[in-house]
C-alpha cells in the first residue's frame, strides 16, 4: 500500500453524493475560500491536480476546489496526529455543515480521520502500529465495525529469518483508511474501484502556493534538508544469504 492523504472536505450533506454532481470549480470562489481558511497567508496560483492525485500535495502547496455545497482542500498541514486538535478556525468554518478530515501515510501505516457536524466533533480516530491508538473519540462509524470485530486481521509477512510477531493493532490502518475514504468521501486511493465510486480523477482541483509570512522561509528549510542529506553516511546494501539472513554487499 502506498497511499497518502491530507484531505479536508466541507459539505452541506453527504460528501460522496455531492461530489458525484460537481462540474468545473470556479477559481475565484476557490480563492475566496482559501483566503478564509488561510488568513494572513500569501496565496499564489500554481499548477493544479485532481481529486485522486491531489490529496497529498507537496508541502506549501494546497490543491483545492469550491462548488456550491461542497469544498475540497488537499494539504499536508492537516495531517495531524490528533484530529481533535485541528485549528479552531478550520472547525469554525464548518458551522452548519459536515466537515471531514482524512489523513494517512503509507510509510508508517498511519491513519487518522474525523467527522464534525455543525462544528461538533462526532468521531475521531488516529492510530499506527508504532504509536498504537493515538486518539479514539466518539462511537465507531458503520464502516469501522467489521474491523473492530476482528473480520479484517492484519496479514503481515515477516522478513526472512525473523520470527513473526503479532501485529500491534487488530487490523491494518491503511486497509481501514481506504474504507474510510470511500465511506466519507466516495473514492479510494488504492484497491478495486466500485461502480458507484466518485470518479476522483475527473474532478479538477486548482493548485496554490500558500505561505505564512511569519513562518520559516522555504529556501532556508530546503537548505537545511540538503545539508542533512549531505551529512548522511553513504548507503549500505544488503543481500539475502542462503540461510535467510541479511549480509552486507560491498559497494
Which of 125, 132, 119 is closest to 87 using CA atoms? 119
Query: What pLDDT does 44 receive?
Result: 97
- List the domain range (segments joined by +) for residue 222: 4-249
- DSSP letter for each residue of 149-199: TTSS----PPPTTSPP---SSSS-HHHHHHHHHHHHHS--SSS---TTS--
Into how many domains does the chain fold? 1
CB 179 within 8 A of CB 187: no
CB neighbours of 142 closer than 8 A, spacing ≥ 6?
183
User: For each of the chain's 251 residues, which pLDDT tens digit applies?
Assistant: 479 999 999 999 999 999 999 999 999 999 999 999 999 999 999 999 999 999 999 999 999 999 999 999 999 999 999 999 999 999 999 999 999 999 999 999 999 999 999 999 999 999 999 999 999 999 999 999 999 999 999 876 544 555 566 788 999 999 999 999 999 999 999 988 899 999 999 999 999 999 998 876 656 666 776 777 677 777 766 666 676 666 777 76
Amino acid at each position: 500500500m502506498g497511499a497518502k492523504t491530507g484531505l479536508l472536505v466541507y459539505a452541506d450533506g453527504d460528501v460522496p453524493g455531492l461530489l458525484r454532481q460537481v462540474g468545473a470549480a470556479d477559481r475565484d470562489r476557490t480563492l475566496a475560500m482559501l483566503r478564509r481558511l488561510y488568513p494572513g497567508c500569501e496565496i499564489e496560483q500554481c499548477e493544479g491536480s485532481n481529486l485522486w492525485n491531489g490529496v497529498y500535495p507537496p508541502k506549501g502547496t494546497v490543491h483545492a476546489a469550491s462548488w456550491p455545497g461542497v469544498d475540497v482542500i488537499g494539504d499536508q498541514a492537516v495531517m495531524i496526529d490528533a484530529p481533535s486538535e485541528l485549528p479552531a478556525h478550520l472547525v469554525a468554518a464548518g458551522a452548519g455543515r459536515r466537515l471531514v478530515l482524512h489523513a494517512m501515510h503509507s510509510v508508517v501505516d498511519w491513519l487518522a480521520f474525523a467527522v464534525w457536524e455543525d462544528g461538533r466533533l462526532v468521531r475521531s480516530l488516529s492510530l499506527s502500529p508504532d504509536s498504537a491508538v493515538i486518539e479514539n473519540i466518539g462511537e465507531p462509524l458503520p464502516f469501522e465495525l467489521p474491523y473492530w470485530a476482528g473480520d479484517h486481521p492484519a496479514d503481515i509477512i515477516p522478513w526472512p529469518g525473523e520470527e513473526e510477531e503479532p501485529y500491534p493493532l487488530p487490523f491494518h490502518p491503511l486497509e481501514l483508511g481506504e474504507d474510510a475514504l470511500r465511506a466519507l468521501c466516495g473514492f479510494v486511493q488504492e484497491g478495486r474501484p466500485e461502480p458507484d465510486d466518485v470518479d476522483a480523477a475527473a474532478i479538477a482541483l486548482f493548485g496554490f502556493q500558500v505561505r505564512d509570512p511569519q513562518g520559516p522561509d522555504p529556501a532556508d528549510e530546503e537548505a537545511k534538508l540538503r545539508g542533512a542529506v549531505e551529512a548522511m553516511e553513504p548507503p549500505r546494501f544488503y543481500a539475502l544469504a542462503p540461510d535467510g539472513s541479511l549480509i552486507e554487499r560491498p559497494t
